[in-house]
Structure 1
Amino acid sequence: MTPISPSPRARDLNLLLGESARDLVGTVVEATAEGVADSVRPTSVTVRPSGDTLVRYAVAVRRRDPPIVRETLVAATGGLVPEGAAVVAGDVHGESVEVGLWRWPHDPALPALARAVDGEGVRAVLARAGVPSARSASVAVQTYRPGRRAVLAITTGSERLFAKVVPPGELAGLRERHELLADHLPVPRLLATTDDGLALMPALRGTSGRTALRQGQPMPDAAALEALLDRLPGDLVAMGKTSDHRRRARHYGAVLALTAGNDGVRATEIADRIADADVGEYPVVAVHGDFYEHQLLLDHGTVTGLLDVDTAGPGRRIDDWANLLAHLAITDTPHARSWADHVLHHVRERVDVAHLRPRVASAVLGLATGPFRTQRSDWRERTRRRIALAEEWLTGS
């Protein structure tokens, strides 16, 4: 585990990634899993500018029978501790610290999760939705973001579905967006929802845009992407707040300052320059909010599905383009560069590139937080390269 700079705001980060983390997790394992933590490895880290921290751990638990069991545990501090988490209080360097803890799949912010992953809970939802072969359904976890969401892939015979698990308070917005967008775009209609935060939806046909890009498959024409975004219904403008790339850049810079040492200092300077850059005036319209290749399903370059519409709402079209270009910039393969050049040629005919650059730089700065968050072994070098790339976009060099 990598110690972080001694900044007071990094106290929680050091606590959850330092040597004390093993003792903390070990205590939970002994109390709830009836075993001993043989190894404790952080697999994802969420940090806020305040220093509030959430860490997901892969834990090897040694028991008498079987000898080793793999567990996932989560520890969080401050505002990242969800209501209902078990809280351990202690003293660290003379300061009182409270840590919220839970074991997978018993996430207190995602009450539907434990019921869903055991299979029986999902089978009951499938049966209510009238899905054939519900009793034979199998469940596989696709993604898990502690306290935020989980995505489960469900197979029933030849049919494939997905269940998204969100905090119950977010379910109404998710349901409303899917109902609204399914009338206009290749967005799946929800088959069923549960009050505790589970949304069931059919799988759409097509290959992930990320997979297609990496395999060198045809990618959509930029004009087709423009037409796709044009179909976002205007009613989305009333749903949520307009995102601001300048505020996001400052957020990312502050996170990098906590995690990336001197590179983080450079990131905060870039964030300040992004915030001061001229970004022009663009109308607020309906946007996807997190538009990039992985949100697309493709069939030989034709879009067959638009995913993760949770973020859809009011914004500026230029920011959807900037997010796509930022993801292509960090992919940096010949196929990605070729498609990025095509997209940029299309976009620069519609917006001032001087207004586009700080927006792309902001999105790249956000992506610079990813290598540390996912605890890659080479996270420092990857973070450094992405911060440099953000500066290149900002300056046009």
Structure 2
Amino acid sequence: MTLAPTRPTWPAPLALLLGPDASELLGVTLGGYGGRLTALRVVTVGVQPGGATVVQYAADVQRADGTTTRETLAATTGSRIPQGAAVLAGRGVEVGVWRWPQDPALPALATAAHPGRLAVALHALGIPRETPPHVKVRAYRPGRRAVLELTGGGPRLFLKIVRPDAVQGLRERHDLLAPHVPVPRPLATTPDGMLVLPEAAGTPVRTLLSRGTPPPPPTALAAVLDALPPALLELPARRTHLQRVRHFADVLTHTAVGADDERAELDALTARLADVDGGAHPSVPVHGDFYESQLLASSGRITGLLDVDTAGRGHRIDEWATLLAHLSVLALHGSPAARGYGAQVLAHAEQRFPRAQLRPRIAAAVLGLATGPFRVQQEGWREHTQERQRLATRWARG
């Protein structure tokens, strides 16, 4: 079965995993479990410029007893193949494959996704539940991380599943931040990569915008950023969006940008951003991925700050640029509230940073977001990609 109309410009691993041969590869894997693949749909696609690819699928699988189940499958190539994955070959490309929740890079996932085993594990951690919890998947990036929500049998909890070598550092970030900003303090961790978190108070700012509820003023956002502890300066700095422009452009070239005129526009934007004078900015503590979905609020105050994996050393101007990029993309897709809020935040930010240094950073962040429609296989992804690329160009022009 063909999953998508492949393009001749796609790298071989991408063309394989999105084309008809993917069904045969995955069917071989399921055959080992006594299942037969009857339908396959691409859910997410991650591509690195070097060709490494990871694809998540939703699969309909017919069992020996005639019943059909919906399962999540993953296939990876190149450097994205984790140790422990079953490796097959197709058209000269090695492919690592697995079924949810047996992600070889996330060993804690098999326990976390099974209510009975999870209840036993939580009891051993001193977090007993009256009954096995209901487990809802909130996010899954194959080979990288998962977020699960637990309800029933006790208070609502969230599990963050990461690679085992990352869990201690993530806990330390939470413990470091919790006394200063509204970051949930972990209840427990496990050596195989599970972090147990309490529910944070408040409503996501993105939800407030969708409801037409007034979001917190920019001064409330600034107060949270100002409260980030100086100890974050001891942690590594992440590459900024401006520093990653070439990476974003390469991903787009490999995936969503095909026509000559589209490539010419992308090349022009990349060249413009490469020539930007970003200015000198002091290193300060940063969240690292500061935007409306990471912020919970109530009564005009920020009450929760999520996903602190990226917290460390950086530049404050990039925090505002990231938020403004996300708000401008929301506005692009028809959110008047996001447009109005973005105007407030922009006015606040441009009182603090030169327009000529802020707006190219917003453009670079929007260019990163332009990789999103293809990654999540959004309907009409080509048109949505071009809309975001044109938005990035407008920001770059000031």
TM-score category of the 2 structures, normalised to the smaller one: over 0.9
Q: Distance in 2 between matches of 1:272 and 1:348?
A: 24
Instruction: Write out aligned runs for 1:102-113 (5 A).
Output: 102-113=98-109
* Matching residue's letter, 1:344: L
Kindly tell me: are residues 352 and 311 of structure 1, through their superposed partners in 2, closer, same or farther at Cα, counting changes over 3 Å?
Answer: same
1:49 Cα offset (Å): 0.7
Q: Distance in 2 between matches of 1:75 and 1:265?
A: 32
Structure 1 gap segments, 5+ residues each: none
Q: Percent identity?
A: 50
So what's the TM-score if we normalise by structure 2? 0.94
* Matching residue's letter, 1:393: W
Instruction: Write out aligned runs for 1:113-262 (5 A).
Output: 113-157=109-153, 159-260=155-256, 261-262=258-259
Q: Could you say which residue in structure 1 is the equivalent of 2:329?
A: 330
Greater Cα offset, 333-342 or 194-203: 333-342
Structure 2 gap segments, 5+ residues each: none
1:218 Cα offset (Å): 1.3
* Cα deviation code 1:104-132 (max 9, x no counterpart): 10000100001111123322342234335
Instruction: Write out aligned runs for 1:213-362 (5 A).
Output: 213-260=209-256, 261-262=258-259, 263-264=262-263, 266-332=265-331, 333-362=335-364
CA contact (8 A) 2:83 2:104 kept: yes
* Cα deviation code 1:83-122 (max 9, x no counterpart): 11110124x2xxx321000011000010000111112332
Q: Distance in 2 between matches of 1:36 and 1:136?
A: 31
Q: Could you say which residue in structure 1 is the equivalent of 2:68?
A: 68
Q: Distance in 2 between matches of 1:369 and 1:187?
A: 29
Q: Distance in 1 between matches of 2:64 and 2:238?
A: 54
* Matching residue's letter, 1:275: A
Q: What is the SS of the residue equivalent to 1:193?
A: strand
Greater Cα offset, 204-213 or 349-358: 204-213
Q: Distance in 2 between matches of 1:294 and 1:226?
A: 16
Alpha-carbon RMSD across the aligned residues, in angstroms, is 1.5
Greater Cα offset, 233-242 or 52-61: 233-242
Q: Distance in 2 between matches of 1:234 and 1:45?
A: 37
* Matching residue's letter, 2:290: F
Q: Distance in 1 between matches of 2:132 and 2:97?
A: 33
CA contact (8 A) 1:107 1:146 kept: yes
Q: Could you say which residue in structure 1 is the equivalent of 2:11?
A: 10
Q: Could you say which residue in structure 2 is the equivalent of 1:79?
A: 79
Q: Distance in 2 between matches of 1:178 and 1:148?
A: 19
Kindly tell me: are residues 242 and 52 of structure 1, through their superposed partners in 2, closer, same or farther at Cα, counting changes over 3 Å?
Answer: closer
* Cα deviation code 1:62-100 (max 9, x no counterpart): 23434311111110000111111110124x2xxx32100
